[in-house]
Amino acid sequence: MNEKISVLIVDDSAIVRQALSEILGSDPQIEVIGTASDPYIAAKKLQMQVPDVITLDIEMPRMDGLTFLRKIMTQHPIPVVIISSLTEKGSITALKALEYGAIEIVSKPKLHTREFIEESRIKLIDAVKAAAVAKLRRIAPRGNAMAVTPKLSADAVLPPPIMRALPKTTESIMAVGASTGGTEALRVFLEAMPIDCPGIVIVQHMPEVFTKSFAQRLDSLCKISVKEAEDNDTILRGRALIAPGNKHTLIKRSGARYFVEVKEGPLVNRHRPSVDVLFRSAARFVGANAVGIIMTGMGDDGARGLKEMKDSGAKTIAQDEKSCIVFGMPKEAIKLGAADKILPLEQIADAALLWLMH
């Protein structure tokens, strides 16, 4: 990016506005052009200068963030990153914001320890950069990053897979990774799944608390069961497990039983949960019994893991550029030769099922 990404911060807390300004202003590719304590002040500033990205609090006096977002997306669409508190109520509202066209959800910066501040910094800066390049879509409501810390690989959580033929079993698994734009992509994918589909394990880059509400939302829409993964959950036919925010989720095997391990660990590829960690575990423990799917998202998390899955005998799919909100993660996987097929979003479910159920 040659020009700086201009950002307007909208939050009723002066402390949060200052923290966000300092975090975003520390990146040489980002410029904070203003702050506003509520949507009315923000609207006046938008009349003078339109930013590349808006960061928006949900709960504010005079006008809530959700109402302001809907006005923005119907009158003058601008990429919006939702900054939300880690509460159940906040997570449900933030998910509605994604349905109304927001690009990303980021939890409010944790200002307790240096590690928390640094992780908040990484996630916020990456979210703003992803929003700046995302394709804006008006979604009707339903009935190259600065190296701030060493970028760890999946080696930090799980050793590389030993490339050997794993015995074929009668049970198969789909491992799916997504980031920016993934909430809508996963809805399309999971709604296409029949009730007897192979078990599915998903990493969607999303803060803690939000993943539980996201899983509950999908569970209400889909024929299959969808739940936030818990440690030792069995991977079952007709069920999708979504990795909890802020925890890595791995596929493990004991005899003929596949289950998930949910664990702590460092950021991998700047994320926790990491798609690379999930895909590596699938390569190690599932091999040819799996299909790996990488969807829309910024960065390269999952690209190397998908290649490891392919090398272990799994079939692999990358979402195509046209149907991606951000063609980052699939693009990097394709460059590595990790994808057997490159497909539009609407064709991914059928292709995966054809491989695994026939």
CA distance 121 to 252: 32
Q: 279 and 302 in contact (C-beta within 8 Å)?
A: yes
- 112 as an active site residue: the answer is no
Q: Which one of the listed residues 301, 312, 320, 323 is annotated catalytic?
A: 301
Q: Could you read off the pLDDT tens digit of each residue along the chain, which spans 358 residues?
A: 458 999 999 999 999 899 899 999 999 999 999 999 999 999 999 999 999 999 999 888 788 889 999 999 988 899 999 998 766 677 888 888 998 899 999 988 766 656 667 888 899 999 999 999 999 865 454 443 333 445 666 666 666 665 544 445 558 999 999 999 999 999 999 999 999 999 999 999 998 889 999 999 999 999 999 999 999 999 999 999 999 999 999 999 998 899 999 999 999 999 999 999 999 999 999 999 999 999 999 999 999 999 999 999 999 999 999 999 999 999 999 999 999 999 999 999 999 999 987 6
Judge whether 225 lies within some domain. Answer: yes
Task: Please tell me whether residues 164 and 299 are part of one structural domain.
Answer: yes
Closest CA to 228 of 242, 207, 245: 242
pTM of the predicted protein model: 0.88
- State which residues form the domain around 259: 159-357
CA distance 44 to 233: 50
Task: Please tell me whether residues 103 and 168 are part of one structural domain.
Answer: no
Q: Which one of the listed residues 37, 172, 179, 281 is annotated catalytic?
A: 179
CATH number for the domain spanning 189: value is 3.40.50.180
- 179 as an active site residue: the answer is yes
CA distance 315 to 293: 9
Judge whether 150 lies within some domain. Answer: no
Judge whether 153 lies within some domain. Answer: no
- 76 as an active site residue: the answer is no
Task: Please tell me whether residues 17 and 104 are part of one structural domain.
Answer: yes
**Residue type at position 232:** N
Task: Please tell me whether residues 128 and 165 are part of one structural domain.
Answer: no
Cβ partners under 8 Å of residue 209, min gap 6: 86, 87, 88, 90, 91, 107, 245
CATH number for the domain spanning 101: value is 3.40.50.2300
